Amino acid sequence: MDNRRVVVTGIGAVSPIGNDAKSTWESMKEGRSGIRLIESMDTTDYPVKIAGEVRDFDHTKYFSNPKDARRMDRYAHLSIAAAQMALDESGLLEGELDRDQVGVMLGSGIGGLGTLEVNHTALMQRSPSRVSPFTIPMMISNIASGVFSMEHGFGGPNMAIVTACATANHSIGEAWRMIKFGDAKAFVAGGSEAAIRPMGLAGFANMKALSTRNDDPTSASRPFEVGRDGFVMGEGAGVLVIEELEHAKQRGATIFAELTGYGLSADAYHLTSPHPEGLGAARCMEMALKHSGLNPEDVQYVNAHGTSTPQGDVCETKAIKKSFGNWAKEGLVVSSTKSMTGHLLGAAGGVEVLACIHAIRDGVIPPTINLEEQDPECDLDYCANTAREMEVKAALSNSFGFGGHNASLLVEKF
């Protein structure tokens, strides 16, 4: 099993800062924020009026049958669009292919919240007969994964993981594990979210989890900054095509990076708060390093979970220092691209591993914007405000979710 190497051959993304992977990465390098006043719903009665919305995006061109698109929730639109972009870039369908050896793992932290809201309103205000017969398949979190396999006849392993904000990293990591185990030759894997809805916004706002910097949206997401006051909701999707190395080489695929490490753990501590010393997150990163065979000093960049919450950023800083030892301060560069995208929840890891792969390819670390006065308890190099040119041979992506779910992915230059 350990001899099977896994590489990345396709990247797809839809985000508040770009409607594909290329434009998302360009925005990251430029330090461009995608946080705006919410346009998709009336926020008059809400304490929070800002989010990272996907704008001006036509999902219909990614569906061969427009009727199928109408029967799916927005989270699935974003997921399938990003998956199709990754698949097209990979060239996987261009030659002979055993489609029973291709798996799909497209997850979502919340799933079809918009569908649930609309149909619950129809039920309560009108009658049971007004509930759409497509309500359940539109709402459930596994349907994007199922529909994408149907579209392309991919008969390999097919699952949808739901681990809140760790969903995308877990999806990619478990797909990596299945390829190494020999259960598939290739996987389309990642996550999506579309929870900027009345229920989603009210639920997170009433938890006091969200920033209320409504008068200055682009500066609201400020990880590791002394004035941070909560995360900013975002939506989008991030999906990779990953393959067994020999399979990719045989078909002459372009290889963007090698996926060499995957760590996962539980905080086993609290419903929504991370462990105060970051112990679960540290175990997660250490497992990814162990799988990769790398020492801490072999890693140049960490794309942090970095949500801009007062407690979370401090706990992750402690976890990084525990995992990387002296190297955390001597040579490691950390940044949070959530400062630009907001928190994409179940899609976060898929978009953030994109940042790691492109950092390796281009030799550029994306910045943490809005970092004006660094929290004294957050005492690492967070690549403040401006992208930095430097060689990156290995990078780690962290995603930590409600329920204490932790997932880290480690990618290396191929």
Answer for the pair 300, 328: CB distance below 8 angstroms, yes or no: no
DSSP code at position 318: H
What's the one-letter identity of residue 120? H
Nearest to 148 by CA among 108, 196, 194: 108
Report d(CA 98, CA 338) in Å as an integer.
38
Active site residues: 165, 305, 343
Residue 414 tokens, joined: 């191929």
- Rounded to whole angstroms, how far apart are CA atoms 164 and 76? 16
Q: Strand 388-389 relative to strand 6-14: parallel, antiparallel, unpaired?
A: unpaired
Whole-angstrom Cα distance, residue 316 to residue 223? 11
Q: What 3-state DSSP class applies to 157?
A: coil
102 token code pair: 């291709």
Type of residue numbered 276: P
Phi and psi of 262, rounded to 5°? -145, 125
